[in-house]
Amino acid sequence: MNDERLFKDTIYEQLARIGKAVSSPKRLELIDILSQSSRPVETLASLADLSVANVSQHLKALKSARLVESEKVGVQVFYRLASPSVAAFIRELRLLGEERLAEIDQLVREYRTDTTRFDPVDRDELLRRVRRGEAVVLDVRPEEEYRHAHVAGALSVPLRELEARIKDLPADREIVAYCRGAYCLMAVDAVEKLRARNFRAFRLDLGVTDWQALGFALESGSATP
């Protein structure tokens, strides 16, 4: 075997480590969850509907491929993405799947049969409305995800708190809700609750990784009171 052949074989063998690590649907889901914020193993297990032992094995495989990192905080082990490029990779994989796999579009359409009336607002239109003071942007994800990164100027109103805090929202402006991205339905649920109270509500069909990839500003830090 000549040196060039050996070089190429070795390079592609290393790249295949990443392909192997993300060949599991649950590992893709775990990366997607971690793109929102770092999480302890127990929380990841709950969100991915896995046992702690099972999720630990998946995380071990992802860590072996250097896609995630871990840190012990007290008695808990927290996992995070090893680099923002991992989140970008998963986003590009999702977009490729949506472009090339008709099954994905069909699944989304079937699952959202009852929610298609909540049309997503166009991001350019959102910017125009916000700049004109006509819209309030709500981040309805859990607060720890908001603290990690959120759309600049968005208010943190986690979905579980929306009913209690709905009276504090301005009734004279449009409300635009967003959550984790295209496959997340928290924003749809939020829009449903808001419209039931006669708010003019819409959803932004993008997550923070999409927003960042499009060149728009993100912020981090504590939730707005």
- Reading across the β-sheet that carries 39-40, which strands appear in turn? 39-40, 76-81, 68-73
pLDDT for residue 1 is more than 70: no
Task: Write out the CATH class of domain 3-89.
Answer: mainly alpha
Structural fold of domain 114-219: Oxidized Rhodanese; domain 1 (3.40.250)
Percent of the chain residues topping a pLDDT of 70: 92
Beta strands in 4-134 (DSSP E): 39-40, 68-73, 76-81
- 25 close to 62: Cβ distance less than 8 angstroms: no
pLDDT of residue 199: 94
pLDDT at 116: 46
Q: Active-site positions?
A: 179
- pLDDT over 50 (residue 52): yes
| Under 8 Å between Cβ of 61 and 27 | yes
Report the C-alpha gap between 208 and 125 in whole angstroms: 17
Domain boundaries of the chain, sorted by first residue: 3-89, 114-219
Average pLDDT estimate for 174-202 = 92
- 74-131 per-position pLDDT tens digit: 999 999 999 999 999 999 999 999 999 999 878 877 766 555 455 566 767 777 777 7
**Which DSSP symbol is given to 67?**
S
Q: What are phi and psi of 29, to 5 degrees?
A: -65, -40
CA–CA dist 66, 21 (Å, integer): 9
Question: Pairing between strand 76-81 and 39-40?
Answer: antiparallel
Specify the pTM.
0.84
In this structure, what token pair is assigned to residue 218?
A: 């993100």
120 phi/psi in degrees, rounded to 5: -70, 145
Distance between CA atoms of residues 212 and 207, nearest Å: 9
